[in-house]
């Protein structure tokens, strides 16, 4: 089998007595779109922190295209092609939107290029996201939903091989969520990235991804085809027990 | 309106420096001394803002760098050429900044401010101890200082170089990295910036100028001792000038150092007993009503014009 772009092996993160992420394995390949779901506090964001080098895991290792980066700084992960968004947008507020996108191109993405070289231009990325008209506006002045889109733009600017999206559709209207989901599929298709996408809106997510992993109390309790996962007894119990949003059978929109 | 390019700005700086270079033959001694003070503070404030304005780190280390430079002169005078002493003063401060920067640059906010202030005290006490224990002196007399015109030209050169460096840094990847660090350091790291290296590099670069200026200005005093050259007032004054001018700009600190030097001189002559009180009040008013500094006035004016 091909070498995965990103492989987490037995990754655990402990905060004092709390085990936020518990021996999670996950491997993703180029062109894969993987959803990650799980109730509040399941450890999804913390797992992303470990995958992007923001946090050093307590145990386990993270291998990016064959290189073990465990213990390295976040900049090393970024230069290896891991780009992420943050659950609460962390744009550079004082900088114009376009410089936010340019930032990753100048640093993380300096030595790579996208499969489509149009995406090597910050202007094209903004246009793709529908943000061309606010290119010169300081990012702090954008609406929260535009800041979320800009977060994706910042990550794309880094010319990633793996894109980690943490609840980029949170707080959006239904139409906006659909739009964002289509956008994500398009970057995956056109740029051939591996995408891992955390989302609370389980139903939308299940419609768009081909594979979904479920975290519960730090452990990965399921990983596979969304239809199979939705029927998994353990998953249903995790959701019913925690917040009562049942994982319904997704209507497959895209194959 | 066309925006100024880097080349335009550098050309403007060089022209201004050339015009200022002629001043010793056009000005009275009093005006020249005042211009020298302006130039020194402009160099100090611009180099301070180069690092601190972009990264939002409050460094009080200017006095430490300045004093180190002054002591390079104090020790070298007679054996070192004046210009070489200035260069060495700058390099000593830059090396020192790189060394301590590696240890303290992960600190933020008040911790960073206090630690950098402590650096000045540390170096001051170290030199006091060294002088007493090994050289058997408490201070040094500067014999045969260079001509005022020479001092003026050297300070002008160092300050102009500080402005050009600040312009180049602002337009470079380093400048972008520093602004990212100032905005959200961890986010900058997740986009590929090795923030530690960028900060050490910029901190060290920005320390060269106060070091060189300390070495250049030291010859103006006939007598040098640690208490007078590691004067925390120089550090505070630099921070104030840069912030009142607008620390995220280059023109702001320059304008504000002229304003400060002239105002201080005027008030001292007019109100010899009250001038510090008046200066303090003016400062408070400025900080209260113009938190973005003088530069924000210009920005507001430009913004108004672009909307009209
Ligand atoms: N820095 C931290 N220190 C201590 N505990 C933390 C820290 N960050 C997260 N936690 C805890 O770790 C657990 C997992 O949190 P995490 O944010 O990863 O969950 P999540 O799945 O992203 O949740 P949500 O869906 O609400 O975003 C939670 O119990 C949280 O309180
Ligand atoms: Mg989360």
Q: Quickly list DSSP for B163-206.
A: HHHHHHHHHSHHHHHHHHHHHHHHHHHHTT--HHHHHHHHHHHH
What ipTM describes this predicted complex? 0.90
Q: Is position B276 within any domain? A: no
CA-CA distance, A8 to A194, in Å (whole number)?
14
CA-CA distance, B178 to B201, in Å (whole number)?
10
Q: Which residues of chain A have pLDDT under 50?
A: 244, 246, 249, 251-255
Chain-chain contact of B176 with A106 (C-beta, under 8 angstroms) = yes
Residue that is written with structure tokens 């003088």 in the block: B294
Q: Give the atom of ligand 1 at the shortest distance from the alpha carbon of A42.
A: 21
CA-CA distance, B207 to B104, in Å (whole number)?
15
Q: Is position B103 within any domain? A: yes
CA-CA distance, B208 to B69, in Å (whole number)?
9
Q: How many CB atoms lie within 10 A of CB A87?
A: 17
Residue B303 has pLDDT above 80, yes or no: no
- Best A99, A106, A156 residue to mutate vs chain B (most B CBs within 10 Å): A106
Architecture of domain A1-81+161-255: 3-Layer(aba) Sandwich (3.40)
Q: In B219-274, which residue ranges form alpha helices assigned H by DSSP?
A: 226-229, 232-245, 251-270
Residue B192 has pLDDT above 60, yes or no: yes
CA dihedral A157, B189, A32, A182 (to 10 degrees): -50
Residue that is written with structure tokens 């606010």 in the block: A134
Q: Is position B295 within any domain? A: no
Q: Is position B264 within any domain? A: no
Domain count, chain B: 1
**Burial environment of residue A50 by CB neighbours within 10 A (0 to 12, 13 to 18, 19 or more):** buried
| Residue of A133, A111, A137, A112 lying closest to A123 (CA atoms) | A133
Six-digit token string for B232? 């925390």
Chain-chain contact of A158 with B191 (C-beta, under 8 angstroms) = yes
Touching check for A128 and chain B: CB below 8 Å? no
Q: Is position B291 within any domain? A: no
Phi, psi angles (nearest 5°) of residue A250: -75, 140
**Domain that includes residue B213, residue range:** 6-231
pLDDT at res. B308: 46
Whether ligand 1 lies within 6 angstroms of the CB of A49 is answered as no
Is residue A120 within 8 A of residue A113, CB to CB? The reply is yes
- Enter the pTM of the model: 0.90
Which tens digit of pLDDT belongs to each residue from B37-63? 999 999 999 999 999 999 988 899 999
Whether ligand 1 lies within 6 angstroms of the CB of A57 is answered as no
* Coil/strand/helix, residue A195: strand
Q: Is position B56 within any domain? A: yes
Q: For atom 4 of ligand 1, which residue has the closest CA?
A: A15
CA of A14 to the centre of ligand 1 (A): 11
DSSP of A95-139: SBHHHHHHHHHHTTTTT---SSGGGGSHHHHHHHTT-GGGTTSBG
What's the alpha-carbon Rg for chain A, to the nearest Å? Answer: 17
CA-CA distance, A43 to B219, in Å (whole number)?
63
Q: Is position B191 within any domain? A: yes
Residue that is written with structure tokens 């925390």 in the block: B232
Distance from CA of A217 to the nearest CA of B (A): 26
| Residue of B164, B172, B162 lying closest to B65 (CA atoms) | B162
Which tens digit of pLDDT belongs to each residue from B102-161? 988 888 888 998 999 998 889 999 999 988 888 877 788 888 888 999 999 999 999 999
CA-CA distance, A76 to B140, in Å (whole number)?
50
Touching check for A75 and chain B: CB below 8 Å? yes
Q: Give the atom of ligand 1 at the shortest distance from the alpha carbon of A215.
A: 21
Q: Is position B192 within any domain? A: yes
Which tens digit of pLDDT belongs to each residue from B224-252? 888 888 888 888 889 989 988 888 999 99
CA-CA distance, B79 to B101, in Å (whole number)?
31
pLDDT at res. A156: 94
Chain-chain contact of B189 with A78 (C-beta, under 8 angstroms) = yes
A239 versus B33: which is more confidently predicted? B33
In the DSSP assignment, the letter for residue B278 is: H
Is residue B58 within 8 A of residue B111, CB to CB? The reply is no
Which residue of B lies nearest to A105 if distances are taken between CA atoms?
A: B191
The 3-state DSSP composition of chain A as helix, strand, coil percent (nearest 5) reads: 40, 25, 40
Touching check for A52 and chain B: CB below 8 Å? yes
Chain-chain contact of B192 with A107 (C-beta, under 8 angstroms) = yes
pLDDT at res. A210: 93
Specify the domain boundaries for CATH 3.40.50.300 within chain A: 1-81+161-255
State percent of chain B over pLDDT 90.
58
Q: From the centroid of its chain, how far is CA B237?
A: 9
Which tens digit of pLDDT belongs to each residue from B245-285? 888 999 999 999 999 899 888 888 888 888 778 877 877 88
Is residue A157 within 8 A of residue A103, CB to CB? The reply is yes
Residue that is written with structure tokens 């201080």 in the block: B264
- With vertex at residue A108, the alpha carbon angle to CA A102 and CA A111, rounded to the nearest 5 degrees, is 100
Is residue A61 within 8 A of residue A103, CB to CB? The reply is no
Residues of A with CB below 8 A from B194's CB?
73, 75
């Amino acid at each position: 089998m091909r070498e995965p772009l990103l492989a987490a092996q037995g990754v655990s993160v402990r905060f004092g007595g709390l085990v936020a992420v518990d021996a999670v394995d996950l491997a993703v390949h180029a062109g894969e779109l993987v959803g990650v779901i799980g109730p509040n506090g399941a450890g999804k964001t913390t797992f992303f922190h470990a995958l992007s080098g923001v946090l050093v895991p307590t145990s386990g290792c993270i291998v990016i295209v064959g290189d073990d980066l465990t213990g390295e700084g976040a900049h090393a992960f970024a230069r290896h092609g891991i780009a992420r968004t943050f659950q609460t947008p962390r744009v550079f507020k004082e900088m114009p939107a376009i410089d936010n996108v340019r930032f990753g191109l100048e640093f993380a993405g300096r030595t790579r290029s996208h499969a489509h070289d149009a995406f090597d231009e910050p202007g094209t990325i903004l246009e793709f996201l529908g943000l061309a008209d606010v290119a010169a506006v300081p990012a702090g002045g954008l609406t929260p939903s535009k800041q979320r889109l800009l977060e994706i733009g910042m990550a794309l600017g880094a010319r990633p091989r793996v894109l980690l999206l943490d609840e980029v559709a949170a707080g959006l209207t239904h139409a906006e969520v659909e739009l964002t989901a289509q956008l994500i599929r398009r970057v995956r298709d056109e740029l051939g990235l591996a995408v891992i996408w955390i989302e609370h809106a389980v139903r939308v997510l299940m419609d768009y991804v081909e594979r979904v992993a479920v975290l519960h109390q730090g452990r990965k309790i399921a990983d596979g085809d969304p239809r199979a996962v939705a029927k998994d007894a353990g998953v249903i119990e995790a959701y019913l027990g925690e917040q009562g949003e049942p994982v319904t059978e997704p209507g497959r929109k895209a194959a | 309106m066309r925006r100024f390019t880097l080349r335009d700005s550098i050309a403007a700086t060089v022209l201004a420096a050339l015009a200022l270079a002629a001043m010793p033959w056009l000005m009275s001694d009093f005006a020249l001394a005042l211009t020298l003070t302006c130039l020194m503070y402009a160099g100090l404030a611009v180099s301070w803002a180069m690092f601190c304005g972009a990264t939002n780190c409050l460094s009080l280390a200017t006095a430490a760098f300045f004093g180190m430079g002054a002591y390079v002169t104090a020790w070298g005078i007679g054996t070192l050429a004046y210009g070489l002493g200035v260069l060495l003063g700058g390099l000593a401060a830059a090396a020192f900044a790189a060394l301590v920067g590696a240890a303290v640059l992960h600190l933020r906010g008040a911790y960073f401010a206090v630690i950098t202030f402590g650096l000045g005290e540390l170096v001051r006490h170290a030199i006091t101890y060294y002088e007493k224990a090994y050289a058997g002196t408490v201070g040094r007399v500067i014999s045969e200082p260079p001509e005022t015109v020479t001092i003026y030209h050297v300070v002008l050169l160092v300050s102009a170089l500080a402005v050009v460096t600040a312009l180049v840094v602002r337009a470079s990847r380093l400048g972008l990295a520093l602004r990212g660090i100032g905005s959200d350091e961890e986010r900058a790291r997740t986009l590929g910036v090795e923030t530690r290296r960028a900060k050490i590099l910029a901190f060290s670069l920005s320390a060269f100028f106060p070091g060189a200026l300390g070495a250049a200005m030291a010859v103006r005093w006939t007598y040098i001792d640690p208490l007078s050259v590691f004067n925390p007032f120089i550090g505070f004054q630099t921070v104030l000038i840069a912030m009142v001018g607008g620390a995220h700009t280059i023109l702001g600190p320059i304008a504000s150092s002229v304003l400060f030097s002239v105002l201080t001189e005027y008030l001292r002559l007019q109100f010899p007993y009250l001038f510090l009180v008046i200066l303090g009040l003016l400062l408070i008013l400025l900080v209260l009503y113009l938190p973005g500094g003088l530069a924000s006035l210009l920005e507001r004016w430009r913004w108004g014009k672009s909307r009209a």
